[in-house]
Chain A
Amino acid sequence: MRVKSWSSVVLALMLCGVVILAGCSGSKGSSNNGATGTDTGGKTETANPPQSTQDTLIVGRGGDSASLDPAIVTDGESLKITHQVFDSLLEYKEGTTEVQGSLAESWTVSEDGLKYTFKLRQGVKFHDGTDFNADAVVFNFTRWSDPKSEYKFEGDSFDYYDSMFGPDGKRIIKEAKAVDANTVEFTLNQPQAPFLQNLAMSSFGIASPAAIQEKKENFKNEPVGTGPFVFKEWKRNDSITLEKNPSYWREELPKLNRVIVRSIPDNSARFNALQSGEIDLMEDLSPDDLATLEGNPNLQKIERPSNNVGYVGFNLKQKPFDDVKVRQALSHAVNKQAIIEAFFAGQAIPAVNPLPPSLWGYNDSIQDYEYDLEKAKQLLAEAGYPNGLPDEYTFYAMPVPRPYMPDGKKVAEVIQADFEKIGVKVKIESPEWATYLDDAKAGEKADIFMLGWTGDNGDPDNFLYTLLDKDAIPSNNYSYYANDKLHEILIAAQKETEQSKREELYKQAQDIIKVDAPWVPLVHTTPLLAAKANVKGFVPAPTGTEYYYNVYFE
């Protein structure tokens, strides 16, 4: 290359600069009258009255899916998408956790609670055109339960199947059998009270056997179900595009032609995008933005029914937290009301029990440990620590915002200050999220930690047994809390099929947990979503996974 030609490159570059400058100023002049219209669907329409209503919904959320095969994932972000593509045999009525038929139209249960017979909906087709029938159902259940299934691909595990219907060796479902093309019969090894409730979870979406056989490993990137929307395209970390299933079995649905779900990790950026009209609906609004949202007439606030708990857990493997008096003392030292006022913008209530009050079986006769530092000191003294606890303890505060805890570190600081007043020193640590969860599970590093849970299926079992039974060590019982009496009650409740009796058992369970105080239940939050004012028909689900099929634009 010669010097001469090089300097002409620079000159050319500079010319470009001038052109771009001119271009910029030009755009600034013209764009006021709707030049950005192509981006902001809503706005164009106000500027030029539309011929037809808008039919593409753009949803903004914090993270991307991990995989699109509902059976192998456990994270909510993945299930939100698969819920649109797949139907399960049963489903929850919109906005509730009440079970209703979906791919199964009706069912009967045998007297002993061991046989469930499902009549399937007829004439339903998978998105690839193959028929949905009893064989397809059996194919899916066999795939999930048979550890040697050739359709269990390398590295996959069916975690939700294992946790709801028992791991290999302890399977609840003995057999799934096709009686005829439209009838499936399940035989259980033992009665399971929440069986129907469990079947309705989005993890048990029925996949097209033909598609799994043909796509193999790739099925998790190109899912095929019978749901209201057909999977179109997945740009990782960017967007997932779904299109209307024209032959969906629910007539006239879905109302939208297309749904695009975008990952916008930053909460403020996501809210900006909603305000500027680039997305129509956003998840996880931070409570700080609530005032702005309410001041904007073009937007609406959507509240997800509260179905979660945020808590501070004690690690019972570590001294002195194995002492119930110490745990009770610390329970008296947490000012829940002040925390809610400071960090939740009123979108939370103080938690008394591990169970949210919206769930049946909630024990409302339990009185919370009131905020009383004197009483806390007295209890510490009774435990043999009149001058406070001897050491400094590690308090894990989550590094990422969660629906039940928008800012873990700040909440931890408030608790730290109160603990200090009764002579308990803690140092706050926030390792990155994956390490945090691993450490909490191992129970080695943190003495006190913060975590939470969003209910999967509207059954108290999904909170009490899943989080606090001794069987759940070390899966979700991060406190290493084991109480044999409690275990007996929870197992009895699983086998009992009459709901009123189960309710009684769960109330007893909460009494035991209250006294043992393995956690300080902190809050039940109402997670916030926001949408453009003209988005209608969106019904938020307590489980966090809702259908978009009823959504339309006004």
Chain B
Amino acid sequence: MKSYILKRLFIMVPVLIGMTMIVFSIIHAIPGDPAETILGQKATEQSKEALREQLGLHNPWYQQYFTYIGDLLQGDLGQSIRTKVPIAEEITPYLAATAELTFAAMAFAIIFGVNAGIISAWKQNSWFDYISMLVALIGVSMPIFWLGLMEQWIFSLELQWLPSIGRMNQRDPVEAVTNLYLLDSILAGRFDQLWTVIKHLILPSVALGTIPMAVIARMTRSSMLEVMNSDYVRTAKAKGLSQFFVVYKHALKNAFIPVLTVIGLQTGALLGGAVLTETIFAWPGVGRYIYEAISSRDYPVIQSGILIIAFVFVFINLIVDLLYAAVDPRIRYR
């Protein structure tokens, strides 16, 4: 297993380098003077010159690239044009906010999706099967912004069960330490706030998690159905093991491998949906951070944001692959 992990990590290196090249070329690929692209036409020659100096645009491109990589390795992502704050410093709270939301959304999607898929397969052609597959069908085809606004309308306006925006009760906030508010409120010993943080998480994570949940449910169902008809499950049943044990222990183990792929892919896809969710629920996450950067042409922020998301994507893929190998030992010897 150890050698497999090493091999897998080693393969990541060229991928990551390739990514930095693509991201690096964003500014340079746009026709015209990069300094003017960034600052706009109204910029004075003086400020353009200052920016060229800061970005090292006078140097040959390969030298600029190596400087860029060198800075990256030191954790320096450059400086935002708009706010003039170092990006590495600025982006942390956004990343934490998105991480918390994505985690909650995936937890929701996996727990409900996997269980719905299993039960649907177990009780194939039952009313539960029909209903959950219908819900899954609606789920994949539902626009996030529509779902989000509907949720707000029903659960916070009409029923007043859940708050519609933000991350915690702002009237009496907890100090941000890790910026993961679930953790922060526990660290501060503020369990009243922990409860409001959880409540704030519910609507956005359901909005964000619905599509992955639907996809996972459908994948789990079909994969389970295949396994349930296999010989070893029939043997297990014949041995008189309880239904629950057969389904959750024996069948799920093998059926889970393709599901795992889907989970990995969906987690990556969440990052796209996060922009919409974060906008509707006023969630200060990295999706909105990049969106704002795009509308104000804050290229260093766009670059770094894309790079970080790409890294996260690669990292998730790595975890999925390692989990495969853990689940199915044949994979690591291939």
Contacts and interface: CB of A to CB of B under 8 A. Distances in A.
B248 interface: yes
B125 interface: no
Contacts of A3: 253, 326-327, 329
Nearest to A268: B149
B269 interface: no
A39 B163 contact: yes
Interface stretch (A9-17, A481-489, A510-518): A9-17
A276 B149 CA distance: 13
B47 A155 contact: yes
Interface string A243-270: 0000000000000000010111110111
A58 B284 contact: no
Contacts of A235: 93, 176, 284
A3 B257 CA distance: 12
A276 B327 contact: no
A525 interface: no
Interface stretch (A123-131, A322-330, A433-441, A462-470): A433-441
A69 to B, nearest CB: 11
A22 B13 CA distance: 45
Interface string A74-112: 000000000000000000000000000000000000000
B50 A154 contact: yes
A10 B84 CA distance: 45
A154 B253 CA distance: 59
A221 interface: yes
A7 B249 contact: yes
B134 interface: no
Contact of B152 (A58, A269, A438): A269
Given A56-B171, A434-B40, A442-B41, A36 B161 contact: yes
B281 A269 contact: yes
Measured as residues with beta carbon below 8 angstroms from the partner, the interface class of chain B is 35 or more
Contacts of B164: 269, 272-273, 276, 278
A72 to B, nearest CB: 10
Contacts of B297: 434
Contacts of B284: 235-238, 263
Contacts of A433: 295
Contacts of A357: none
A262 B297 CA distance: 23
Contact of A266 (B170, B248, B279, B296): B279
B252 interface: yes
A438 B279 contact: no
B261 interface: no
A64 B111 contact: no
A278 B165 CA distance: 8
Contact of A38 (B42, B51, B192): B192
A198 to B, nearest CB: 22
A279 B121 CA distance: 45
A7 B253 contact: yes
Contact of A236 (B50, B93, B148): B93
B65 to A, nearest CB: 24
Given A1-B326, A38-B192, A20 B111 contact: yes
A66 B295 CA distance: 13
Interface in B222-262: 248-249, 252-253, 256
Contact of B157 (A11, A265, A272): A272
Contacts of B323: 6
A16 B152 contact: no
Contacts of A241: 173
A269 B147 CA distance: 12
B199 interface: yes
Contact of B170 (A7, A217, A260): A260
Interface in A412-437: 432-434
B68 interface: no
A507 interface: no
Contacts of B107: 16
A27 B83 contact: no
B326 A236 contact: no
Contact of B282 (A40, A43, A265): A265
B82 interface: yes
B289 interface: yes
Contacts of B156: 272, 276, 278
A235 B192 CA distance: 22
A498 to B, nearest CB: 35
A239 B160 contact: no
Interface in B1-55: 1, 40-42, 44, 47, 50-51, 54
Nearest to A16: B111
A17 B173 CA distance: 28
B41 A237 contact: no
A43 B156 CA distance: 13
B300 to A, nearest CB: 12
A17 B115 contact: yes
B98 to A, nearest CB: 12
Contacts of A237: 94, 284, 288-289, 292
Given A262-B282, A272-B165, A36 B199 contact: yes
Contacts of B192: 38
A220 interface: yes
Interface centre among B84, B171, B252 (most CB of A within 10 A): B171
A264 B152 CA distance: 14
B290 to A, nearest CB: 11
Interface in B284-334: 284, 288-289, 292, 294-297, 323, 326-327, 329
A241 B173 CA distance: 10
Nearest to A265: B279
A31 B202 CA distance: 14
Interface string A108-148: 00000000000000000000000000000000000000000
A105 B170 CA distance: 37
A265 B79 CA distance: 24
B122 interface: no
A466 to B, nearest CB: 15
Contact of A7 (B51, B171, B252): B252
A2 B253 CA distance: 12
B56 interface: no
Given A17-B115, A217-B84, A235-B176, A275 B326 contact: no
A146 to B, nearest CB: 15
Interface string A23-53: 0100110011000101111010000000000
16 contacts: A1-B326, A2-B326, A6-B327, A14-B115, A27-B161, A31-B162, A155-B47, A221-B83, A235-B93, A236-B90, A263-B284, A265-B279, A270-B282, A272-B156, A275-B157, A276-B156
Given A31-B162, A155-B50, 19 more contacts: A1-B1, A10-B114, A14-B248, A27-B199, A38-B169, A38-B172, A40-B160, A67-B84, A235-B93, A235-B284, A238-B282, A260-B170, A262-B165, A262-B170, A263-B282, A266-B280, A272-B156, A278-B164, A441-B41
Interface of A: 1-3, 6-7, 10-11, 13-14, 16-17, 20, 24, 27-28, 31-32, 36, 38-41, 43, 56, 58, 60, 64, 66-67, 153-155, 157, 217, 220-221, 235-239, 241, 260, 262-266, 268-270, 272-273, 275-276, 278, 432-434, 438, 441-442, 475
The 10 closest A-B pairs by CB, nearest first: A17-B111, A238-B284, A264-B282, A1-B326, A276-B156, A237-B284, A272-B152, A39-B163, A273-B165, A272-B164
